[in-house]
């Protein structure tokens, strides 16, 4: 059935000139989809706006893999702190990411963007199982690929899933869309004079225990020299700007 659909697809868009990145992983936290900090569920307008920006990027010929979090629905750590078994609780968190993935797929399809959801835990009735080579093939054909269910393993996060998938599909960068402009020397919501870094090394990020992204994900990126750009999702046009190579937010990378 998938092959029949593929043959009906228009050829993938050719890359627009001026693009810095041809293949990327975009990590979107669950919280970003609920429209407000600490909120619950999915905010339809926010979802559509994010989808519209991704659609624009796809039409410019960028190959896009997306990893969505689940924090707007359920987080494993929260369940565990309320007395649940941690693994059980994490599996619930992973299922939450699948709900978000399906919502994002729907919103992208409304924008006429061909989209596949691939899950690290098999749920064949609603999504394809994750198979690396197939994911790459989808990207080459112009599909946006949403990776659901994180890594498929408890005790991990979707940040780590994003780093892992980025390595596997040989993405050129990992874009982490957050609620703040970038990485600061202290919490910008509590300290008015907080300074944003334009650039940060992996080592500094890890030594300073910066909480924007989990350390397992950053370690994986460091070992494979994959640059991470942290930027604000809710600023209109930001997703496009980072792909065009605009120097917004904070880059985490090597020394120079
Ligand atoms: N999770 C997991 N393994 C993974 C990815 C996610 O167990 O590889 C679970 C974990 O419980 C996590 C939840 O899924 O709390 C939602 O993911 P995350 O907290 O990374 O979402 P975000 O904060 O980005 O919304």
CATH number at residue 193: 3.40.1160.10
Residue whose CA lies nearest to ligand 1 atom number 21? 69
pLDDT greater than 70 at residue 31: yes
Asked if residue 62 belongs to a domain, the reply is yes
* Residue 165, both tokens: 């998938």
Asked if residue 5 belongs to a domain, the reply is no
Asked if residue 10 belongs to a domain, the reply is no
Return the SS3 of 116. strand
Asked if residue 144 belongs to a domain, the reply is yes
- Which residues lie closer than 8 Å to 252 by C-beta, 6 or more apart? 183, 199, 200, 201, 202, 205, 213, 218, 221, 227, 228, 229, 230
Pocket test for ligand 1, best of 36, 94, 130 (most atoms within 8 A of CB): 94
Q: What's the CA gap between 104 and 69, in Å, rounded?
A: 11
Q: What's the CA gap between 202 and 219, in Å, rounded?
A: 7
Q: What's the CA gap between 119 and 123, in Å, rounded?
A: 7
Per-residue pLDDT averaged across 204-208, rounded? 93
Neighbours of 130 (CB within 10 A): 22
The DSSP 8-state label assigned to residue 60 in this structure reads T
Distance 130 CA to ligand 1 centre (A): 17
Domain count, the chain: 1
Res 3: pLDDT: 47
* Residue 142, both tokens: 């112009």
pLDDT greater than 60 at residue 105: yes
Q: Per-residue DSSP letters for 144-161?
A: EEEEESTTSSTT--HHHH
Q: What's the CA gap between 229 and 56, in Å, rounded?
A: 19
Asked if residue 3 belongs to a domain, the reply is no
pLDDT greater than 90 at residue 65: yes
Phi and psi, residue 230, nearest 5°:
-100, 125
pLDDT greater than 50 at residue 38: yes
Distance 120 CA to ligand 1 centre (A): 12
Query: Which residues constitute the domain of residue 36?
Result: 15-253
Tell me what the pLDDT averaged over the chain comes to.
92
Asked if residue 7 belongs to a domain, the reply is no
Q: Where are the alpha helices (DSSP H) in 144-250?
A: 158-168, 202-207, 215-223, 238-244
């Amino acid at each position: 059935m998938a092959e029949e659909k593929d043959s009906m697809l228009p050829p993938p868009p050719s890359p627009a000139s001026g693009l810095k990145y041809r293949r990327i992983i975009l990590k979107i936290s669950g919280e970003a989809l609920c429209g407000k900090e600490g909120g619950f569920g999915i905010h339809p307008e926010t979802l559509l706006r994010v989808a519209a920006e991704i659609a624009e990027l796809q039409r410019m010929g960028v190959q896009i893999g997306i990893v969505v979090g689940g924090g707007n629905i359920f987080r494993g750590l929260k369940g565990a702190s309320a007395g649940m078994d941690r693994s059980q609780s994490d599996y619930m968190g992973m299922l939450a990411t699948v709900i978000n993935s399906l919502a994002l797929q729907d919103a992208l399809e409304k924008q006429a963007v061909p989209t596949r959801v691939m899950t690290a835990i098999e749920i064949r009735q609603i999504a394809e199982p994750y198979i690396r080579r197939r994911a790459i093939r989808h990207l080459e054909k112009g599909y946006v690929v949403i990776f659901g269910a994180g890594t498929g393993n408890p005790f991990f996060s979707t940040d780590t899933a994003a780093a892992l998938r980025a390595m596997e599909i040989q993405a050129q960068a990992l874009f982490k869309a957050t609620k703040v402009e970038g990485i600061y020397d202290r919490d910008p919501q509590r300290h008015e004079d907080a300074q944003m870094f334009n650039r940060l090394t992996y080592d500094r990020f890890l030594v300073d225990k910066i909480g924007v992204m989990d350390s397992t994900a950053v370690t994986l990126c460091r070992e494979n020299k994959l640059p991470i750009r942290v930027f604000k999702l809710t600023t209109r046009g930001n997703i496009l700007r980072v792909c065009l190579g605009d120097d917004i937010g904070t880059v985490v990378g090597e020394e120079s």
